Structure 1
Amino acid sequence: MLEELDIRNLGPIRQATITPAAGMTAITGETGAGKSMLLSALNLISGGPADAGRVSSGADEAWAQGIFAVHDDAEAASAARDAGVEAEDGELFLSRTVRAAGRSRAMLGGKGVPKSVLALVSGELVTIHGQAEQLRIASPSRQREFLDRAAGDDVELGAYREAWRALSAMDERLTRLRSQESSARQRADYLRESVEHINQVDPHPGEDDELKAKRDRIENAADIAEGVSRALAALDSSQMDYDSSGESAGASDLLLQAAQALRGIRASGDFGGLADRLESLNAELQDVVFALSGHLDEDFGDADLDALNARIHELGELTRRWGPSLADVIAWRDKAAFEIEDLDASPEKLAELESERERLYQAAVEAAGVLSRARSQAATRLAARVTAELESLAMSGASLEIRVTPRAEATDRCPLDQNGGDDIAFLFTPYEGSPQLPMGKSASGGELSRLMLALELSAADMHGGESRGEDGAKNESGNGSRTGSNASLSDMTFIFDEVDAGVGGKAAAELGRRLARLARTSQVIVVTHLAQVASWADSQFVVTKEPPDADYDEVGVITTVAEVTQEARVHEIARMLSGSESEASLDHARELLADSKLGNRH
């Protein structure tokens, strides 16, 4: 929802701030006053083209900023997050600067971004229905997106796209296999020979380190035996063969003798504790003796150093080519085995994949059928609702047909794409007897704006709006104030321009009523010259031409934008009704505003 729109030096608007209502806001003013600049500002922050000619005369740059309230789980917040910007206190700031000489600059949350990012985020926040913007709905993709939104077919669309992704992945794999060139075959041969060589060597993780350690012990066996023997003789003479005539006590014997000597002391003191510590040291020493004895018993048998070195060399060749470790070699071999399966496009393998592809295709076709049926049902309901709405919008005899046509299966192409298997067309008949033409080519700007209003209203109703009062009238606190369960049905802001072109009288009142009805579930901003439309708004801003400010050298019109309330609003409605503010027109304005309240119109 748009909370604030700020403008500086855009066309005749030097500075303006608009804080639209949560429901419906009307933008009014005399023809040529500069109401179009407000749409220009919204187009700028929506990533639209930047026209340096729109910069106010004498200014270096124009600037527009929109502050939007968003929920953390909203699509706009997610899109901003993907661009590295987090909503601050539930608000997103979208701004655009256009220099009189130079390029424009887009900002999201104070961070410079490409204007395409601004367009992506704003696309989840603002929908502009003006003459130029209406042409977007003429594209089949936009019409499909609108129908899916109205249908609420997220589950069916999600299931189909999952099936489509699996099918596409298989198609890519088959294409890769079928289009293998000699280089791919050479790689398959290389991988196959490499895997075979590694399997012949049959390495085990850490085997080379173990063999090198073993070789080191064998090569130094004599030194190990001599050193261990001398250490054992010094620690525990009972472990060694010796001549009794040369008997000498080892460290273990000496420790025990010392402990016994201390225990023989009868005087008081800590001698017993010290003896315990000596015996504990002796126990630790005996563990060392036991470990050293094991080295004396180590027997390498008939170990062949040549064979050992040959094996180490063989393993070293593997690590040099596919290492650096044997674990890496083994991982490379296992990965290569899978790659060989893809590169080795044997007839059997291709036949197996073709069979799997057919299964995936049939699953996608089935999911596309479910999605198509959901779309067709929604298209029938949506078209009927829109046609009924058009009758009340001064478009008697106008109708909309939405065709959902499943594509025929062709021999040269798949009838499916990422969005399903349907061709969707919005066909509009502007008056009875008129030929049915594609939407966007068969209506004026005003008719197309009213058609879009009917579409938005009908889509909102299909999302649960049936429970609302069909009068769409405002309550005493405002026209379209969103209350109760409807308070947050949509975060979208709808902008309507030219929607009242060629409309007057009772049809104008019905147009205002329907705009107010849409404002029950979404924020609505309408640029209008009809009092019957403006009277339904929760808030009203007037765009006024003022004499040029003496501080500026240029001669020209300066435009101001101000909210009108209470009596000021009555005077503006009176001006819109009759071009004057006579007592009769003021009474008429008060009556019109009163009639726009709940229960006064049916």
Structure 2
Amino acid sequence: MLTLLKIRNLALVDELVWELGEGLVAVTGETGAGKSVIVGALKLVLGERADKSLIRTGEDSCTVEAVFELGDPDEVDAVLEEGGLDACDGGTLIVRRVIGAKANRQFVNDSPVTLNLLKRIGEQLVDLHGPHDHQSLLSTERQLVMLDAYAEVDLAGYREAWQAWREKRNELEELRQAESTSEQELDLLRHQVSEIDAAELKPEEEEGITDRWRRAGNATRLVELSGAAAGLLGEDDTGIVSRLGEVQRLTRELEKLDPSIADRTMGLEGAVVELQELEGVFRDYAEELDLDPSEAAELEDRVNLFESLKRKYGATLEAVLAHRDRCADRLDSVENRGERLQHLADEVENLRGKVDKLGRSIGLKRKKAAPRLAKEIAGQLRDLGFKSSSFEIRLEARRDPGSAGFEAVEFFFGPNPGEPLQPLRQVASSGEVSRVMLAVKSALADQDSTPLMVFDEIDANVGGEIARAVGRKMSALGERHQVVAITHFPQVAASAARHYVVEKQVVGGRTCSRLFPVDGDGRIGELVRMLGGGGDSAKELAKSLLQGS
């Protein structure tokens, strides 16, 4: 339930801290006192868009914070985890909206969230109904959801099977309706696959072959340069190695005359060996470059083949091979079309069989539940003043299965005896629709897991004994849910477990809306005001309303 609502600088409310409590909570006050601000704050909690016009004059921002204590947080936790947030800690969920002059922000358990995610979370927290919020009840899709909740229908398995069947059926239809492939296109596909296969491509070999081809193309110059380097290092009279040999001889003579110099010339021997090895490297390299002209031509042909295929089919050899696979798949699809059509048709038939089986089971549950739910709603409607009304839930078979099964549903309502029942969406009176909605909510109270229900003046256009019946229904709902009723009717307010009043006050020259609890004489006084005021008779009537509740 909603345990705490904090509002700061929202419209006429400078600061409000509201601890609601359980059961039916009534909120009353004169027109314009600020009751709509509370509804607006709850809508912000539910993810409704907001703009800076909501900010109290003279302030930079406004905030709304709601604290929920969830007995069963599993559904909310699933939405949180899907959105990348941690699950509720101990079932506590805190929603905070900050509306600023330049930007708006929203937080769930102190983590920033998108407005879309907040809406999804809000759908699990609050069910809000106002004078113009009955469209969901008039929607046949929503009516089917209500019937399924009552019938305890789980659509998850059916929808999975239906989605698989639809995708496979679409695949089959696309293959059937595809234009026939021309022989010319087939020849082109075969040629491309054959050409790429003949190349026997190995992407890892391209770099090595290209490097060898480049060396072959510069072989003459490379031989010339490496030969010259080897010659300079050579052992002839002018070569470095030969001259270093003379240096070695002189060094040995020096060491005989002065052995101490040996420590200073000890690196000479190693230098000679290294230069001799380097000379061998250059000579071996020059010999390796002496390529057979036919081998050089083969390398050039291979590199040219790589480049030709890449120009035709892709920027890399990997892309060329990927193109080959696509062509091969297309060939296989066309050349084995008949076999593939039969295979797909068999798959579609098997999947449709699964859809039919699951759909029949769901349809049977709905057919059993529909008259029971209609009877229960009709009973609730009689309690709300429709003494001779009729209510039916009609199922119509669909030719093809939909995402919700093989049936469409429509609620039919006849408020007056002797008149034909009409679809609920054709009932003109908003007062009648409000009471039907309350009857449906009452009938589905056990199946509805929403923690908080808010009724914003849905008792408009009713009065007297019917208003009292509306209050009793809301009170009964309050035994299984937390219910907030914003009302102008004393009969409804008297039925509440807790009663709060909203009124305007002028503080420091500024108008502010205040919300405070009333009990005892204070509550009687508010009921007298709602009754129109006036003497002891109104006071006694207010007391009788409280006693009768």
TM-score in same-fold range (> 0.5): yes
Q: In 2, Cα distance between the equivalents of 1:434 and 1:57?
A: 54
| TM-superposition CA deviations, 1:28-82 (whole Å, max 9, x none) | 1223323223222222332335466555455555543333334675333322333
| TM-superposition CA deviations, 1:187-238 (whole Å, max 9, x none) | 9888877877898899999999xxxxxxxxxxxxxxxxxxxxxxxxxxxxxx
Q: In 2, Cα distance between the equivalents of 1:84 and 1:580?
A: 58
Pair 346,399 (structure 1): closer, same or farther in 2 beyond 3 Å? same
| TM-superposition CA deviations, 1:131-157 (whole Å, max 9, x none) | 211123222222222222222201xx2
Which residue does 1:561 correspond to in 2? Answer: 515
The secondary structure found in structure 2 opposite 1:416 is strand
**Cα distance, 1:524 vs. partner?**
1.0
**Cα distance, 1:325 vs. partner?**
11
Contact 1:449 1:496 in 2 (8 A): no
1:108 aligns with 2:110: no
The secondary structure found in structure 2 opposite 1:585 is helix
| TM-superposition CA deviations, 1:512-544 (whole Å, max 9, x none) | 222122122222111122333223322221111
Q: In 2, Cα distance between the equivalents of 1:82 and 1:490?
A: 20
Which residue does 1:97 correspond to in 2? Answer: 99
Q: Any residues of structure 2 matched to 1:212-291 within 5 Å, and which?
A: none
The secondary structure found in structure 1 opposite 2:444 is helix
Contact 2:55 2:99 in 1 (8 A): no
| TM-superposition CA deviations, 1:112-166 (whole Å, max 9, x none) | 5443333222112111121211123222222222222222201xx2232122021
Q: Which amino acid aligns with 1:573?
A: L
1:367 aligns with 2:358: yes
**Cα distance, 1:565 vs. partner?**
3.5
The secondary structure found in structure 2 opposite 1:403 is strand
**Cα distance, 1:420 vs. partner?**
1.7
Q: Any residues of structure 2 matched to 1:334-483 within 5 Å, and which?
A: 342=333, 346-407=337-398, 409=399, 415-461=400-446, 463=447
Q: Which amino acid aligns with 1:159?
A: G
Q: Which amino acid aligns with 2:404?
A: N
Q: Which amino acid aligns with 2:546?
A: L
**Cα distance, 1:560 vs. partner?**
1.4
Q: Which amino acid aligns with 2:483?
A: V
Pair 584,330 (structure 1): closer, same or farther in 2 beyond 3 Å? closer
Contact 1:460 1:521 in 2 (8 A): yes
Which residue does 2:35 correspond to in 1? Answer: 35
Pair 138,38 (structure 1): closer, same or farther in 2 beyond 3 Å? same
1:550 aligns with 2:508: yes
Q: In 2, Cα distance between the equivalents of 1:567 and 1:184?
A: 92
Which residue of 450, 455, 463 corresponds with 1:496? 455
Contact 1:61 1:97 in 2 (8 A): yes
Pair 192,581 (structure 1): closer, same or farther in 2 beyond 3 Å? farther
**Cα distance, 1:107 vs. partner?**
1.1
**Cα distance, 1:422 vs. partner?**
1.9
Residues 51-60 or 366-375, more deviating: 51-60
1:46 aligns with 2:46: yes
Contact 1:491 1:523 in 2 (8 A): no
Contact 2:457 2:488 in 1 (8 A): no
Q: In 2, Cα distance between the equivalents of 1:393 and 1:360?
A: 47
Contact 2:127 2:450 in 1 (8 A): no
Pair 202,451 (structure 1): closer, same or farther in 2 beyond 3 Å? same
Which residue does 1:412 correspond to in 2? Answer: none
Q: Which amino acid aligns with 2:476?
A: R
Unaligned runs of 5+ in 2: 207-294
Q: Which amino acid aligns with 2:474?
A: L
1:165 aligns with 2:156: no
1:117 aligns with 2:71: no
- Could you tell me the percent identity over the aligned residues? 32
Unaligned runs of 5+ in 1: 209-304, 410-414, 464-488, 597-602
| TM-superposition CA deviations, 1:318-373 (whole Å, max 9, x none) | x99999999x9999999997776556561221122123212322332332222222
Q: In 1, Cα distance between the equivalents of 2:144 and 2:184?
A: 47
The secondary structure found in structure 1 opposite 2:164 is helix
Q: Which amino acid aligns with 1:522?
A: H
Residues 169-178 or 416-425, more deviating: 169-178
Q: In 1, Cα distance between the equivalents of 2:185 and 2:495?
A: 73
Q: Which amino acid aligns with 2:31?
A: T
| TM norm structure 2 | 0.69
The secondary structure found in structure 2 opposite 1:448 is helix
Pair 118,379 (structure 1): closer, same or farther in 2 beyond 3 Å? same
Q: In 1, Cα distance between the equivalents of 2:428 and 2:37?
A: 24
Q: In 2, Cα distance between the equivalents of 1:504 and 1:86?
A: 47
Q: In 1, Cα distance between the equivalents of 2:59 and 2:176?
A: 62
